[in-house]
Amino acid sequence: MEVRAKKALGQHFLTDQSIARAIVDALRNDPQAPRDVLEIGPGMGVLTQYLIKRDDIDPMMVEIDTESVEYLLTHFAGMQGKLIEGDYLRLNISKFFTDKYRIIGNFPYNISSQIFFKILEDKDKVPEVVCMIQKEVADRIAEGPGTKTYGILSVLLQAWYNIEYVLTVGPGAFAPPPKVKSAVIRLVRNERTELACDEKLFKTVVKMAFNQRRKTLRNALKQMTPEGMDTSDPVFDLRAERLSVDDFVALTRRFEQL
Ligand code: SAH
């Protein structure tokens, strides 16, 4: 019996074996990289089958769908203790990984942004992520400043990760086919160990700036700008989409020094 695809869980099963292999191969074979790898949403195990063959990694899986979990337990040997049945977004990851681990998965598209925010919470323990997501989201994440799709996730992820576009995947590679194109990207943790500003304030500034992305920063950030603060600097004439990560850091510092 195959798993019946459930829309609410973002289930589109990849059926193209050569793409599945390419995704697993995109996870670098590097002796420096952690052996622990977490697969998010294994489904019927199209990636899992190649992951468990690699002798440079120790895979773990987290799957929310009971039917998929049963499928994996009956079709793959040695799953016990490696397969967590649960919601990745609610998982207390540190319970499973005391040390660094990598992440791989064909993410459920409806929660891919939430997955990235959760990965960011644990960024110092996650040096590498290989994932398939909706192509539009992949483009957004990988874009630099000055483009229409550059946004909150681009800035927050690019602050900590170098993002590489791996490949585009058409709807025909899945059952059932999604309505949109997909893309595989690889995120590799950069050298940054800390931001040169308060991290929480940085996130607030970035979110607020993009929430009203049509407005100049002067107007978009008005709510958090204290009375009397000098906003005559030309940076405040710009829109959020013009600013690089470092520009946002510099901008955040202006609000810190109050
Ligand atoms: N990796 C499989 C399935 C991809 S579909 C393949 O490529 O064919 C996305 C998978 O994520 C589904 O199996 C779905 O049940 C699972 N999933 C959805 N939400 C989840 C969550 N919050 N936590 C863990 N798994 C989730």
Q: Give residue 186 CA to ligand 1 midpoint distance, Å.
A: 18
Distance, CA of 239 to CA of 255 (rounded, Å): 17
What is the rounded average pLDDT for all residues in the chain? 96
Q: Quick check: 156 pLDDT over 80?
A: yes
Q: Give residue 114 CA to ligand 1 midpoint distance, Å.
A: 14
Mutate to test the pocket of ligand 1, among 17, 37, 60, 64 (most ligand atoms within 8 A of CB): 64
Quick check: CB of 252 below 6 Å from ligand 1? no
For residue 27, name the pLDDT band (cuts at 50, 70, 90): very high
Render pLDDT for 82-119 as a digit per residue (tens, 0 to 9). Answer: 999 999 999 999 899 999 999 999 999 999 999 999 99
> What is the CB-side half-sphere exposure of residue 133 using CA atoms within 13 A?
23
Q: Which atom of ligand 1 is nearest to the CA of 115?
A: 22
Render pLDDT for 212-221 as a digit per residue (tens, 0 to 9). Answer: 999 999 999 9
Q: What is the pLDDT, as a whole number, of residue 258? A: 63
Q: What is the pLDDT, as a whole number, of residue 88? A: 98
Quick check: CB of 182 below 6 Å from ligand 1? no
Q: Quick check: 1 pLDDT over 90?
A: no
Mean pLDDT of the 3-31 span: 96
Q: Which atom of ligand 1 is nearest to the CA of 174?
A: 8
For residue 35, name the pLDDT band (cuts at 50, 70, 90): very high
Render the burial of 207-226: b for 16+ CB within 10 Å, e for the rest.
ebbbebeeebbeebbeeebe
**DSSP characters over 65-99:** -HHHHHHHHHHSTT-TTTEEES-GGG--GGGT-SS
Quick check: CB of 71 below 6 Å from ligand 1? no
> What percent of the chain has a predicted confidence (pLDDT) above 70?
99
Q: Quick check: 170 pLDDT over 90?
A: yes
ω into residue 177 within 30 of 0, thus cis?
no
Q: Which atom of ligand 1 is nearest to the CA of 105?
A: 1
Q: Give residue 238 CA to ligand 1 midpoint distance, Å.
A: 40
Q: Is 232 left (phi over 0), alpha (psi -120 to 50) or beta?
A: alpha
Quick check: CB of 63 below 6 Å from ligand 1? yes
For residue 151, name the pLDDT band (cuts at 50, 70, 90): very high
For residue 159, name the pLDDT band (cuts at 50, 70, 90): very high
Q: Give residue 36 CA to ligand 1 midpoint distance, Å.
A: 19
Neighbours of 230 (CB within 10 A): 8
Mean pLDDT of the 165-177 span: 97
